[in-house]
């Protein structure tokens, strides 16, 4: 990085205007922005507190901070240590996937507000490290059971953005042909299952996949993701208990962002650390800073090795935070501004980029190349989705039931 950036990070002077690349990202606003899009607000103005303009300005401020992946942060959150078994090439590749995840997420939020696709949008900004770092380390044919806020599970696994964008748009070129919910990212060719609308069904499916791997004698591993509130669901306990009894090759991840939609953590669990639940099922549990890429890498690496070697499951609680509402139609006014700001200071991307800089792996030229490649893929993905057709009514009932099965005539019932 430049000496100017280094001085900013040491906190010795006020942050200067953002670099050209970052400014371009922050100013991005398609001309077709409709009324209600944040870019129609004058953020330099000072709207009345509590007004719609005040809310929109705050949302845009957070987005501008989110896409500045090298911005300053408190020294107490600076990372130290090593990423065990991770080459320099892998560190930079993982960083690029995290940047891709962040910028893609921010772009989808804007497109949703412009009315470019139907439904709603579940932003993952702030908690990207929790799933992407784990799935990046998995084999392509390993099984991943994501939840509704797990874009990173697919990006970490390497699913091309064009398919994920087509999924958001519900177009025929998406993995399910445009017949399912936007933001339920998946792709069968990459081992990422289709998320279920019913919370924690993915937990059970991933447990079943792990059981299958063990029965077949394969060295594959499964992973499942859920939120803090989801640990109160019966499927959580049933899946964990079954995995513990059979010592299944699976890694369970609780993404504890403190809120189950609008329900605070203390109303869903009496535990300080949700990983303590693992004791009841007979396998290890660990709680870590989910915004510390190094901690996430090392914990998930150990859990994957444990699972793949036949030692059984691990439950990892990753303490993290989502910057925005449960979905983009949720103002999240049940959270205090102080709480949000405190967690924004722990943003995983600037912390990781600073560590890469300290390691001598990231400079302005390298960062510029990362951003350029990511922006190009995002633009290509959006064009792909918007040029893809919407599914016709004749497809609504297709693939509801199995249409073929080896040795069985499904239609004839024999």
Q: Which residues are identified as catalytic? A: 322, 326, 334
Q: Whose CA is closest to 151, among 100, 207, 191, 196?
A: 100
Q: Helix axis angle, 88-113 relative to 161-169, nearest 10°? A: 20
- The string over 99-122, giving b where at least 16 C-beta atoms fall within 10 Å of a residue's C-beta and e elsewhere, is bbbbbbbbbbbbbbbbebbebebb
**Structure token pair of residue 300:** 């998930």
- Residue for token pair 């991005």: 28
CB 278 within 8 A of CB 315: yes
Strands (E) located in 247-402: 250-256, 259-260, 263-264, 285-289, 314-319
Count the neighbouring beta carbons within 10 Å of the beta carbon of residue 303.
Answer: 25
Q: 278 is written with which tokens?
A: 């693992």
Beta bridge partners of 405: 408
Residue with tokens 């990753």: 318
Angle of the 234-246 helix axis to the 201-216 helix axis, nearest 10: 10
* Cα distances (Å, whole numbers) of residue 91 to 98, 363, 411: 11, 14, 51
DSSP state of 249: S
| CA 346 – CA 339 distance, rounded (Å) | 11
Residue 15 sits at the vertex; the CA angle it makes with 12 and 17, to the nearest 5 degrees, is 150
Phi, psi at residue 39, to the nearest 5°? -65, -10
| CA gap 324, 229 in Å, rounded | 17
DSSP 227: E
Q: How many CA atoms lie within 13 A of 75 on its CB side?
A: 7
Please report the beta strands in 181-313, taking only residues with DSSP state E, as ranges in sequence order. Answer: 222-227, 250-256, 259-260, 263-264, 285-289
């Amino acid at each position: 990085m430049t000496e100017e950036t280094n001085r900013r990070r040491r906190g010795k002077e006020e942050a200067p205007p953002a670099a050209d690349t970052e400014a371009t990202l922050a100013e991005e606003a398609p001309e077709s922005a409709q009324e209600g899009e944040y870019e129609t607000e004058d953020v330099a103005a000072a709207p009345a507190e509590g007004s719609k303009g005040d809310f929109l300005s705050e949302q845009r401020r957070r987005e501008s901070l989110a896409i500045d992946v090298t911005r300053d942060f408190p020294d107490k959150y600076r990372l130290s240590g090593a990423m065990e078994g991770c080459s320099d090439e892998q560190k930079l590749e993982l960083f690029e996937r995290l940047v891709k995840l962040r910028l893609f997420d921010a772009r989808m939020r804007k497109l949703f507000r412009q009315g470019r696709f139907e439904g709603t949008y579940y932003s993952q900004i702030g908690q990207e490290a929790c799933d992407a770092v784990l799935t990046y380390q998995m084999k392509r044919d390993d099984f991943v059971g994501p939840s509704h806020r797990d874009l990173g599970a697919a990006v970490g696994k390497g699913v091309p953005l064009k398919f994920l964008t087509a999924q958001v748009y519900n177009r025929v070129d998406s993995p399910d042909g445009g017949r399912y919910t936007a933001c339920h990212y998946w792709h069968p060719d990459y081992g990422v299952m289709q998320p279920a609308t019913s919370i924690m069904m993915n937990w059970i499916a991933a447990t079943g996949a792990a059981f299958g791997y063990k029965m077949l004698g394969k060295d594959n591993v499964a992973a499942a993701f859920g939120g803090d509130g989801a640990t109160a669901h019966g499927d959580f306990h049933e899946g964990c208990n079954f995995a513990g009894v059979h010592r299944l090759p699976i890694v369970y991840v609780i993404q504890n962002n403190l809120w189950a939609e609008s329900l605070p953590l203390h109303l869903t669990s009496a535990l300080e650390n949700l990983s303590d639940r693992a004791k009841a099922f007979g396998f290890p549990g660990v709680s870590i800073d989910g915004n510390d890429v190094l901690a996430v890498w090392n914990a998930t690496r150990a859990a994957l090795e444990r699972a793949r070697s036949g030692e059984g499951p691990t439950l990892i609680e990753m303490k993290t935070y989502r910057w925005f509402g449960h979905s983009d139609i949720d103002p999240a006014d049940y959270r205090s501004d102080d709480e949000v700001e405190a967690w924004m200071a722990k943003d995983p991307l600037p912390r990781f980029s600073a560590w890469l800089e300290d390691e001598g792996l990231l400079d302005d030229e390298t960062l510029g190349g990362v951003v350029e490649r990511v922006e190009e893929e995002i633009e290509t993905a959006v064009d792909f989705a918007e040029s893809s057709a919407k599914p016709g009514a004749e497809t609504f009932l297709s693939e509801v039931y199995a249409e073929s099965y080896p040795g069985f005539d499904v239609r004839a019932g024999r």
